[in-house]
Structure 1
């Protein structure tokens, strides 16, 4: 049996690196062989699982510096039947790549919006003259360098090796402890873990609408580790809410809280009950 795993491509992205690490873990623990399938964006990566084109998707959800990856939450909310199987926390080390000779000659810098944001201080300090252009992935940015000698890109060490592009400056992160959290998502339901992710909407927008749900978790002494709001894309000022909490869905306090939350919300989606694997040392090209 070969399990197909979708990820944001092309090869050399941080998403591919996280996928390689997950695939290696899966093969080592279960013996299952894997096939990695890159997609041009995060939405299509998740849609491939929902449509049954692939078995699993690995997608970024949050960065320790720049916050949430909004398209992941938005797409997960829109698609039915997807469940988080595992969380992966990956250290991210950005590098400045160029075929140019000097930083002074750089006119354009390409990279994924998250990477540009995570290196903003370095860019302002060392390349104030450069025009920043967002791409779908850090690897896509490298395709511009062969045609543009005055261009640079922000990408991983692995990407530099794969595409044979020199690293001009290594480790340009604005903050040293830069990590990205990924979710491993499939159509199978996972019933146990130490983390729960959910999303919900309310029947109507009114003052204090979020207080009652938060009070439910406080009364059950459940620790919330993340809360985010996203626009419903229907009315201005109308929001969806996403929560991460510690616990297992089989626990009595969690069951009580989810039952009470269900009575307050218009739509409640439990995206998964899962464990998180922290990757301290990445052996596949990431230092």
Structure 2
């Protein structure tokens, strides 16, 4: 089955998808478009879900909320950002960068004192720079090579440990006993004192490790949130899920294992 991922050519999503799935991939312009197509059942998808520097990817989390897709795998990719420029970076009139990339490279970009113009992807930043002789762009090495851009400054990310976690998504959940993690979407529907403590206690009492918990607006108004929870599968996790269902609305986003990324 074809795997959809974020384009144009040269995004980190494209680079990882090519490493995992070879040529059987298709590039789409937005994460929402990917998730919507996957929900239709004609393809799988690979999308970024969180970054070690910038946190959760809002477009992916919202898409998981709206569309009936399942997470069937995860992969981790070290992310290195480079500043492409045709001359002195401090003489640039603008720098093109994806919003998450901007956050991941904020220290260097803020020090330049130039306007940062947001784009839909790192590859889109490269395309925009091609059309603007007075601008630079924050790009991957692959994107710089594809679009023929000179790299002026290398490794401008705030952290040397900068890593993005991607998830493989499908219209159907994964089958099999080799899964190591499970993701849940928890919607309390209402607010009350001690609610979050009650939710966490369901797992703590059973010794279940949560690898991630993130709140997102429910879009029902200020102060109303849903929670994305990732847990390590261990004894009692199904019982914990059932207890949680008696307290809140719970949707299982999928159980999965880590995908091994071929060495580049």
Q: TM-score range with shorter-chain normalisation?
A: over 0.9
Equivalent runs, 1:1-287 vs 2, <5 Å:
3-24=1-22, 35-52=24-41, 54-80=42-68, 82-98=69-85, 100-125=86-111, 127-128=112-113, 130-191=114-175, 192=177, 193-247=179-233, 251=235, 253-265=236-248, 267-277=249-259, 279=261, 282-283=263-264
Provide the C-alpha distance between the structure 1 equivalents of 2:108 and 2:118, rounded to a whole number of angstroms. Answer: 16
Provide the C-alpha distance between the structure 2 equivalents of 1:178 and 1:45, rounded to a whole number of angstroms. Answer: 24
How high is the TM-score relative to the length of structure 2? 0.95
Contact 2:40 2:171 in 1 (8 A): no
Structure 1 unaligned segments of length 5 or more: list them.
Answer: 25-33
> How far has the Cα of 1:55 moved from its partner?
1.5
How high is the TM-score relative to the length of structure 1? 0.87
Provide the C-alpha distance between the structure 2 equivalents of 1:112 and 1:185, rounded to a whole number of angstroms. Answer: 23
Per the alignment, in what secondary structure is the counterpart of residue 8 of structure 2?
coil
> How far has the Cα of 1:278 moved from its partner?
5.8
- Residue by residue, what CA displacement relative to the aligned partner does 1:192-251 show, whole Å, maximum 9, x if unpaired? 411111111113122221221111101111001111000111121000011011016xx4
Provide the C-alpha distance between the structure 2 equivalents of 1:142 and 1:282, rounded to a whole number of angstroms. Answer: 25
Provide the C-alpha distance between the structure 2 equivalents of 1:61 and 1:282, rounded to a whole number of angstroms. Answer: 22
Provide the C-alpha distance between the structure 2 equivalents of 1:37 and 1:273, rounded to a whole number of angstroms. Answer: 25
Contact 1:90 1:278 in 2 (8 A): no
Contact 2:183 2:231 in 1 (8 A): yes
> How far has the Cα of 1:111 moved from its partner?
1.2
Structure 1 residues 203, 103: CA separation in 2 closer, same or farther (over 3 Å shift)?
closer
Provide the C-alpha distance between the structure 1 equivalents of 2:6 and 2:168, rounded to a whole number of angstroms. Answer: 12
